[in-house]
Structure 1
Amino acid sequence: MDERIHEHAEVLVDWSARVERGDDVVLSVAEGAHDLAVAVAEELGERGANLVATYDSAEVTRAYLTAHDGEFEAGVHELALVENADVYLRLGGGRNTSATADVPGDVRQEYASASAEVREARMATDWVSTVHPTRSLAQQAGMAYEEYQAFAYGAMLRDWESLAGEMARMKELLDEGSEVRLVKEDTDLTMSIEGRTAVNSAASVAYDSHNLPSGEVFTAPDDTEGEVFFDVPMTVNGRRLRDVYLRFEDGEVVDYEAGANEDVLETVLGTDEGARRLGELGIGMNRGIDRYTDNVLFDEKMGDTVHLALGRAYDSNLPDGEAGNESAVHVDLITDVSEGELEIDDEVVQRNGRFQWEDGFEG
Structure 2
Amino acid sequence: MDERVREHAEILVDWSARVEPGDDVVVSVGPEAHELAVAVAEALGERGANLLATYSSGELQRAYLQAHDGEFDEADHELALAREADVYLSLGGGRNTSATADVPGEARNAYREARQDIREARYDTRWVSTVHPTRSLAQQATMAYEEYQEFAYGAIIRDWESLAAEMDRVKEILDAGSEVRLVSGDTDLTMSIADRTAVNSAASVAYDSHNLPSGEVFTAPAETEGEVVFDVPMTIRGESVRGVRLEFADGEVVDYGASEGEDVIGDVLETDDGARRLGELGIGMNRDIDRYTDNILFDEKMGDTVHLALGRAYDACLPEGESGTASAVHVDLITDVSEDSRLEVDGEVIQRNGRFRWE
After TM superposition, the score normalised by the length of structure 2 is: 0.99
Match of 1:160 in 2: 160
CA contact (8 A) 2:70 2:107 kept: no
Over the matched positions of the two proteins, sequence identity in percent amounts to 76
1:182 and 1:270 map into 2 onto residues whose CA distance is: 26
User: SS at the partner of 1:171?
Assistant: helix
Task: Give the aligned partner of residue 348 of structure 1.
Answer: 349
Residue 112 of structure 1 corresponds to 112
Structure 1 SS opposite 2:191: strand
- 1:202 equivalent to 2:171? Answer no
Task: Give the C-alpha shift of residue 75 in structure 1.
Answer: 0.5
1:55 aligns with 2:55: yes
| Alpha-carbon distance, 1:70 to partner | 4.3
2:66 aligns with 66
Deviation at 1:357, TM superposition (A): 1.5
SS of 2:8's partner is: helix
Please tell me whether the aligned partners of residues 343 and 350 of structure 2 are also in contact (alpha carbons under 8 angstroms).
yes
Q: Which amino acid aligns with 1:85?
A: A
* 1:85 corresponding residue in structure 2: 85
Q: Distance in 2 between matches of 1:355 and 1:151?
A: 24
For 1:28-77, what per-residue CA distance to the aligned partner results, in whole angstroms no more than 9, with x for missing partners?
Answer: 00011000000000000000000000000000000000000240011100
Amino acid at match of 2:228: V
Deviations 1:228-262, CA, capped at 9 Å, x for gaps: 00000110000011000000000000000011111
Q: 1:187 maps to what in 2? A: 187
Report the counterpart of residue 328 of structure 1 in structure 2: 328
Residues of 2 paired with 1:261 and 1:191: CA distance?
26
List alignment gaps of at least 5 residues for structure 1: 359-363
- The aligned runs of 1:196-235 (5 Å cut-off) are 196-235=196-235
Structure 1 residue identity aligned to 2:354: G
How big is each residue's C-alpha offset from its partner over 1:63-121, in whole Å with a ceiling of 9 and x where there is no partner?
00000024001110000101000000000010000000000000011001001000000
Distance, in Å, in 2 between the alignment partners of 1:354 and 1:289 is 15
What's the CA shift for 1:166?
0.2
Change (3 A) 1:168 1:70: closer
Code of the aligned partner of 2:133: P
Superposed CA RMSD: 0.5
2: distance between equivalents of 1:277 and 1:69?
29
Write the distance in 2 (CA, Å) between the matches of 1:204 and 1:147: 26
2:294 is aligned to 294
Listed one character per residue, the Cα deviations across residues 214-239 of structure 1 (whole Å, up to 9, x for unaligned) are: 00000000000000000001100000
Counterparts of 1:68 and 1:126, CA distance in 2: 32
Which residue of structure 2 aligns with residue 263 of structure 1?
A: 263
> For 1:147 and 1:107, how far apart are their aligned partners in 2?
37
Offset at residue 291 of structure 1 (A): 0.2
Q: Does 1:42 align with 2:42?
A: yes
Opposite residue 330 of structure 1, the aligned amino acid is: H
State the 1:355 CA deviation: 1.0
Q: Distance in 2 between matches of 1:290 and 1:19?
A: 30
Q: Could you list the runs of 5+ residues in structure 2 that have no partner in the other structure? A: none
Aligned length: 358
CA distance in structure 2 between the aligned counterparts of 1:223 and 1:166, rounded to whole angstroms: 28
Q: Does residue 272 in structure 1 map to residue 272 in structure 2?
A: yes
Mapped to 2, the partners of 1:254 and 1:348 lie a distance apart of 28
Q: Distance in 2 between matches of 1:6 and 1:70?
A: 41
Distance 2:15 2:328 in 1: 29
Report the AA paired with residue 104 of structure 2: P
Q: d(CA) in 1 for partners of 2:139 and 2:249?
A: 39
Aligned match of 2:130: 130
Alpha-carbon distance in 2 for matches of 1:350, 1:70 = 46
Q: Partners in 1 of 2:228 and 2:135 — Cα distance?
A: 33
Is contact 2:70-2:110 (8 Å) kept?
Answer: no
Runs of 4 or more, structure 1, over 2 Å off, are: none
Q: Distance in 1 between matches of 2:257 and 2:89?
A: 35
Instruction: Indicate yes or no: 2:33 matched with 1:33.
Output: yes
**Structure 1 residue 210: Cα displacement:** 0.2
Q: Check whether the contact 2:70–2:111 (CA below 8 A) recurs between aligned residues.
A: no
